[in-house]
Every structure is written in structure tokens, then in C-alpha cells.
Amino acid sequence: MQIERALNEAASSANRVLDELIPAVDGAEGRVVEAMRYATMGGGKRIRPYLVLNSAALFNVAPSYAIRAAAAVEMLHCYSLVHDDLPAMDDSDLRRGRPTAHKQFDEATAILAGDGLLTLAFEVLSHPETHPDGGVRAELVHALAVAGGAAGMVGGQMIDLAAENMTLDIGAITRLQRMKTGAIIAFSCEAGAILGHAGPQARHALNAYAHDLGLAFQIVDDLLDAEGTAESIGKPAGADAAAGKATFVSILGLERARDQARLLGEQANAHLESFGAKADPLRWMTEFVISRKS
């Protein structure tokens, strides 16, 4: 598949730049930097960097700029995983097949490593090497902060924690996921548009693409959680169901959820029409998101 080669290429670039942007340091503070490196370097498909790089390519943005924005959004993503995994939050021991940061280090170091990555994302975006125009840098920072804040990822995680004691309908789940995971996916595409000084029509089209892609991504996530468990323990219920959480699957059922994901994928790609063949890498991503098995 073309997407796999393209995704590997994007991941290699992102890994290289993350490695450069988070150099190990000596001294007692070296431990938190080590944890920041551990949290960002442990693999991951690098879907968000891929979206930054390929939305930027639509507007012929210099790759040396786009890759820094790509690294910044991945830092933000990894910080959110580190904090979400904490004992007080989702209390997860495993992430990407390895011990989570607080298991590998300790809880205090994991909290600080998350804080450090969140802060570094903004340091990277605001640095002149990310774009010579300060207005572009400030716009990137602002868009990422909105996507990451109480109206975006932080608010979404708050709702998710509260959701264990609430009955969410399909509208509430859609809103939750739009905030918790959709906002950063939308930022990843918006970043390309900002770097490329894109006009309002192109921005709107990319935003609509990202919104549908993000929702499809989450539905497939729910499907994998429900079906993966079905295979392994022979019961039609996964971790979400065990936690009593409403998901797209618990509300729509497997078949309608699958249909809905496919429909959203088609809708996502329809928004890309005006970009022509240049948007093929974004179309491949849609296919990848819908058909992924992990």
C-alpha cells in the first residue's frame, strides 16, 4: 500500500526531528528529559505528523517548516497520553506495548514530562525556524492552544472522566470525541493551511475533511476495542463496555458503527475534491483510518 510507505517516511522524519528537539541533558533535570524522550520515541503511527506534512504539501510549504509543526503536534499528543495514563486518570500500565511513563519512571516524573512536552510544543512552534513570519508562528501557537485547552483536548478528557457516571447519547459522544481527539487532528490539517497562507475556502475544506476523518478514526477505535476483545475472550464486550462507558459501538451497534465509519470516510474525501491529485496522500490516510486493524 502507498499509505504504508508514505506513513513510514513521515514517521522517520518526525522521529528524526523529535530526537533533535529533545536532546538528552546531564544533571538532575536529565531524568525529566529522559522521560520526555521515552514518551515520544516509543513508536506510534505518527498520524498527526503525517497530516501536518501532507496538508502543508498542498500549499507548497517548505518541508523544513512543516516538520517542526509536525513534531510539535506529536509532542502535544504524547503529553496527553502520558497524563491520561496516570493512576488518577485512566490508570494504564501499558502503552504501545511498553510500560507507560509513570511505570517506567515514577508518577512525579511522568507529570513533569507531560508538562515539559506540552511546553516544548509551544517553544518549537514559536521559534523562528518554524516560519520566518512571526504572525504565522503566533497563529500556529494560538490554534494549537485552542485545540489543546479546555474547549478542546483538556475539556474532552474532563468529559470522558465524568462519562463513567453519565449516560451519553450519540450527540454527547460526538461532541466529547470532537473535543478529545478531533481537535488535534483538525489542528494537524489547519497547521498546513496556516503555514501555507491558505485562503478561507481551502481552510474550510481541510477543516471539514479533518472533522470527518477524526470522527471516523474514533469510531474505528471503538470497533477495535469491542471486536478485539470479542476475539480474544469470546465476549462481545471490551474495555469500554467493562468500564460502563458509552461508545459509538455501544449505541450504534457493530454494523451501523462500521457503516458510519465508512460513510464518514467518503464524506471526508469528498471535501478534498478541489485540491485534485495533490491531496492523494490525505485520501490514502482516510482509507488507512477506516481499514486499520490496530
Q: Which residues bind its own copies (CB under 8 A)?
A: 25, 27-29, 31-33, 36, 79, 83, 86, 88-89, 106-109, 111-112, 114-116, 118-120, 122-123, 125-128, 133-139, 141-142, 144-146, 148-151, 154-159, 161-163, 166, 179
Smallest distance, its own copies to C-beta of residue 113, A: 8
**Least spacing, CB of residue 84 vs its own copies, in Å:** 9
Q: Is 152 or 265 the residue whose CB approaches its own copies more closely?
A: 152
Given the complex with its own copies, which of 27 and 97 has the nearer CB atom? 27
Q: Which is nearer to its own copies, 58 or 112 (CB)?
A: 112
C-alpha cell of 291?
Answer: 481499514
Least Å distance, CB 131 to its own copies, is: 9
- Can you tell me the distance from the alpha carbon of 196 to that of 184, in angstroms, rounded to the nearest whole number? 18
In the complex, minimum distance from the CB of residue 153 to its own copies, in angstroms, rounded to a whole number: 8
User: Residues 244, 248, 250, CA angle at the centre, nearest 5°?
Assistant: 45
Name which of 96, 86, 106, 84 is nearest 32 in CA terms: 106
With contact defined as beta carbons under 8 Å apart, do 248 and 240 qualify?
no
Residues 112 and 29: beta-carbon distance below 8 Å: no
Q: What one-character-per-residue DSSP string does 116-185 give?
A: HHHHHHHHHHHSGGG-S-HHHHHHHHHHHHHHHSTTTHHHHHHHHHHGGGS---HHHHHHHHIIIIIHHH
Task: Provide the minimum distance between the beta carbon of 67 and its own copies in the complex, in angstroms, as a whole number.
Answer: 18
Q: Which is nearer to its own copies, 144 or 220 (CB)?
A: 144
Nearest to 108 by CA among 125, 124, 86: 86
In terms of phi and psi (left: phi > 0; alpha: psi -120 to 50; beta: otherwise), the region of 163 is alpha
| Least distance to its own copies, CB of residue 273, Å | 32
Least gap, CB of 108 to its own copies (angstroms): 5
Measured from the CB atom, is 195 or 285 closer to its own copies?
A: 195
C-alpha distances (whole Å) from 110 to each of 12, 81, 177 are: 25, 10, 24
The pair phi, psi for residue 52, each rounded to 5°, is -60, -50
Nearer to its own copies, 52 or 176 (CB): 176
Cβ proximity to its own copies, 32 vs 51, nearer residue: 32
* Contact between 61 and 195 (Cβ < 8 Å): yes
